Amino acid sequence: MLSPDGGSLYYMTADSTVNIDGQPAPDSWVKLMKRDLASGEEKELTRQKYMPPLAHVDLSRDGRYLVIGPAAPTASGIVAVISASGGTPREVTTHGSLRSIDLSPDGRYLAFHDIDPVTKSVALLVVPVEGGEPRTLMRGPAPQSIATVAWGPDSRSLLVSSKSPAEGSKQELWRVPVNGASPQKLDLDPDQIAGGFILSPDGKQAAFWSAPPPKKPAEIWVTENFLPASTARK
C-alpha cells in the first residue's frame, strides 16, 4: 500500500518458514514494514504473533495511521490501529474481517459485520477508530446477507446491500446513517452492481460496472442524483 504522497510503501511479511497449510509456524512473527521508495530504506513498524500473514492493511487518507486486520471474508480476529511511524498496535475490535471499504473516508470509523449465534442474527456495526463501544446500525435474521458497498463521501452514512433469507427475495440497496437514524431504501438494484462502485465527492453520482449476460461485454453505468434517489444510465 502506498502512502498518500507516494513516497512510502507499507507491506506485511513473515520472518520464518510456513507450514504445509501455508500458515506461519507457531513460533513465527508477522511484521508490518515501511519502505522509503526514494532511498530504499526499510523500517519495521511492528511485529505481532496474532496478525495473519496475509492481513489487510488500510492507510488513513491523511497518512497518519494504519489499520490492520484479517483479510478473509469469513475470518475473525483482532483489528488494530498503529501509527504510520511505528509503535504498539492498539486493538479496536475483535469482530470479523477487514476490507478497504470498511474504513470511513474521514478515518473516524470502522464498519464491520457480526453474526450472533444466540439470537441467530446478522448485523452491521460501526466502532470509532479512536476507541469506544461498537454500535449496531442494521440487524436482520440469519442467514440474511448484509454487505457494505461503500461509505458516503461525508462519512455520515453507508451504502449497504441486503437480502432477506425468504424464498424469492431480491437484493436491496440501503443508505444507513451512522448516527442511528432509520435506514433508507434506495431504488438502485444491487444485482446490477458487479464491482468498481465509486461515489462522487458530493454523493450525487455513482459509477459501477455491471455483470453482462453470457457472451456480451461488461457495461459501465453512471447514476444521476444518486442520493437520495437514483437513475442509472450507461
What domains, with CATH codes, occur in the chain?
1-98 (2.60.330)
pLDDT band at 41 (very low <50, low <70, confident <90, very high): very high
Query: Residues 130-157: pLDDT tens digits?
Result: 888 888 888 887 766 777 778 888 899 9
Complete DSSP assignment for 87-108? ---EEEE-SS---GGGB-TTSS
Q: Which amino acid is at 126?
A: V
Is the pTM for the entire model greater than 0.85? Answer: no
Query: Could you give the dihedral angle defined by the CA atoms of residues 200, 206, 212 and 218, in that order, rounded to the nearest 10 degrees?
Result: -20
Indicate the burial class of 166 (C-beta count within 10 angstroms; 0-12, 13-18, 19 or more): exposed
Q: Let me know: does 58 contact 72? Beta carbons within 8 Å.
A: no
Q: What is the mean pLDDT of the chain?
A: 78
- Does 229 have pLDDT greater than 50? no
Query: If you average pLDDT over residues 56-60, what whole number do you get?
Result: 83
- Does 19 have pLDDT greater than 60? no
CA distances from 175 to 80, 151, 152, 154, 208 (A): 27, 9, 9, 13, 17
